[in-house]
Amino acid sequence: MHSDRATAPIAAAGLIAGYAVAVATGSRPLGGVVLAACGLVCVAIWMRRDGRRTAALLTAVGLFAFALSHVLALAIGAWPAVLLVAAGTAAACWRVSDARRAGAAGRTA
């Protein structure tokens, strides 16, 4: 697992693809497997690159986003809610973890 890989798109993709799989198959557990797989990839990268504290913080952000999507869905619809929390999660991942790596990579190139 490459610690220089951006996690923002992986985290967003996990939320979006997890929901898409759940809708397409009618299996919420299968959607959860997709979401969890993407989440575990992110956690592994954060642990290696940023440490336990950042990994815990961003994991909490992802779990909160997942829960929030269910509440938002009642007000704005399921897909808009999923897309909104995916964007927010990606922004948090970028700000807290990925941007520091991108800046470091830019300085050494």
Q: Is there a domain that residue 101 lies in? A: yes
**pTM beyond 0.85, yes or no:** yes
Q: Six-digit token pair at 87?
A: 């964007």
Evaluate whether 15 touches 34 at the Cβ level (below 8 Å).
Answer: no
Angle CA 3–19–12, to nearest 5: 30
Q: Is there a domain that residue 90 lies in? A: yes
Report the alpha-carbon distance of residue 80 to residue 97 in Å, rounded.
25
Domain of 67 in residue numbering reads as 8-108
Evaluate whether 58 touches 41 at the Cβ level (below 8 Å).
Answer: no
- pLDDT tens by residue, the chain, 109 residues: 567 899 999 999 999 999 999 999 999 999 999 999 999 999 999 999 999 999 999 999 999 999 999 999 999 999 999 999 999 999 999 999 999 876 655 544 4
Q: Is there a domain that residue 28 lies in? A: yes
Report the alpha-carbon distance of residue 69 to residue 10 in Å, rounded.
17
Q: Six-digit token pair at 34?
A: 């997709």
